[in-house]
């Protein structure tokens, strides 16, 4: 079977691309991310794949048609941690993505964003999709559902031309991954109850979900910026939800600040290093350790004046990525060389900040794969009239 051609926009470190590749037989033909750090990561993993850069400047009529389009467009306009300007935010990139959809007409389009996008701006996305002749289905899923040591709930949605023969979609799929060591959970065990949307593009409320045919928008940009989750400001930013992921009954218990992990004294943990006392985070860390098949790195590393700071190695592990996917020194050697060619000033903190920025923008691949598998199952199981079972 010939692999489906895939284009990726707002690619970041490629977490959504990895999720799609775990479920569909795809071959990347281009990526698009202008951030220098993300570009260095993508060039390292896909040396023969062109990077189209800034999607606001791409002439899509000059880009070859593709079978699958995916992307995790900037969440800052919609995140509860941001200013919540929605479509009025200068970083709102959906209009440019809609243009790409109109020109390229892929067989499938897969996107991800923060869960709060469902309440802010998503109705406009669905309206645009309807105006372009696409149907859509969506799901919200926590990373902890696939075993990750943090919640990180994401909205993942699937769109396809309304006149698509669904047997063509089913024929593109690979056998389901199994939830084993290092694998991907094929079907989420917990998800929001979702009701079918109105085929005329009704504006969804907070509890809405399911399918909808989806009309018009504004303009603007901003790619390669970390989502406003304070991921670069210390261990609490990443670990804040670990206890919640470990404890499904947390809402029934008194609120208290989780005990922070105490890292081993040695910066480079060898077999003889003291084990980390993860405190309340222990069950979640242990669970993710078993799933990934490798232990967690130390959560901090020595910073300025010996003060501990968040370790990119640990965040990479939390995001379910292979070791070195973002932190491989070869990536950042090339990054520094490219920066010097541009005349940019490089400091010792530059690569670390770029790594954390990339990691802060990403999706857990196992989470994305589980969500996409569920969406495709739902799509291909539904009768052609789109109504489904009562």
> Phi-psi bin for 284: left (phi > 0), alpha (psi -120 to 50), beta?
alpha
Cα→Cα distances 305→37, 76, 279, Å: 26, 33, 26
DSSP three-state, residue 31: strand
* C-alpha span between 76 and 15 (Å, rounded): 18
Q: Which two tokens stand for residue 121?
A: 């701006």
Q: Are 218 and 94 in contact (CB under 8 A)?
A: no
Tokens encoding 233: 């400001």
Q: Does residue 75 carry a catalytic annotation?
A: yes
* C-alpha to C-alpha distance for 149 and 279, rounded to whole angstroms: 13
**Of 181, 185, 161, 196, which is closest to residue 371 (Cα–Cα)?**
185
Q: How far apart are alpha carbons 246 and 143 in whole angstroms?
A: 12
Contact by Cβ (8 Å): 232, 300: no
Question: Residue for token digits 């033909």?
Answer: 29
Provide the Cα torsion 221, 142, 278, 234; round to 10°: 10
Does residue 85 sit in helix, strand or coil? coil
Contacts of 163 (CB under 8 A, 6+ apart): 133
Which among 26, 42, 52, 75 is annotated as catalytic? 75
CA–CA separation, 31 and 98 (whole Å) = 17
Catalytic residue ranges: 75
């Amino acid at each position: 079977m010939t692999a489906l051609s895939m284009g990726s926009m707002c690619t970041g470190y490629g977490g959504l691309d990895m999720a799609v590749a775990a479920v569909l037989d795809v071959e990347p033909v281009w990526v698009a991310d202008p951030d220098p750090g993300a570009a260095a990561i993508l060039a390292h993993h896909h040396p023969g794949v062109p990077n189209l850069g800034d999607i606001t400047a791409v002439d899509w009529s000059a880009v070859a048609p593709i079978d699958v389009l995916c992307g995790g467009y900037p969440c800052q306009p919609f995140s509860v941690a941001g200013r919540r300007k929605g479509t009025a935010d200068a970083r709102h990139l959906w209009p440019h993505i809609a243009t790409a959809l109109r020109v390229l007409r892929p067989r499938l389009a897969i996107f991800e964003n923060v869960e709060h996008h469902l309440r802010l701006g998503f109705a406009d996305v669905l309206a645009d999709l309807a105006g372009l002749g696409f149907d859509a289905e969506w799901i919200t899923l926590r990373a902890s559902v696939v075993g990750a040591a943090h919640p990180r709930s994401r909205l993942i949605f699937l769109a396809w031309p309304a006149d698509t023969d669904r047997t063509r979609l089913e024929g593109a799929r690979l056998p389901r991954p199994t939830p084993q060591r290092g694998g991907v959970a094929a079907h989420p065990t917990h998800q929001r109850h979702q009701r079918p949307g109105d085929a005329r593009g009704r504006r969804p409320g907070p509890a809405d979900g399911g399918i909808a045919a989806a009309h018009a928008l504004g303009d603007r940009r901003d790619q390669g910026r970390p989502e406003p989750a304070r991921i670069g400001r210390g261990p609490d930013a990443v670990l804040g939800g670990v206890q919640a992921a470990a404890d499904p009954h947390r809402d029934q218990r008194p609120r208290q600040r989780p005990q922070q992990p105490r890292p081993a004294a040695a910066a480079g943990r060898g077999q003889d290093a003291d084990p980390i006392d993860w405190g309340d985070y222990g069950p979640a860390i242990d669970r993710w350790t078993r799933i990934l098949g490798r232990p967690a790195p130390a959560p901090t590393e020595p910073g300025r004046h010996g003060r501990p700071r968040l370790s990119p190695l640990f965040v990479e592990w939390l995001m379910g990525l292979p070791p070195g996917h973002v932190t491989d020194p070869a990536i950042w050697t090339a990054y520094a060389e490219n920066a010097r060619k541009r005349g940019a000033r490089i400091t010792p903190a530059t690569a670390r900040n770029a790594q954390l920025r990339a990691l802060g923008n990403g999706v857990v691949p196992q989470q994305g794969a589980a969500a996409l598998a569920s969406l495709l199952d739902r799509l291909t199981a539904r009768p052609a009239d789109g109504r489904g079972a009562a």
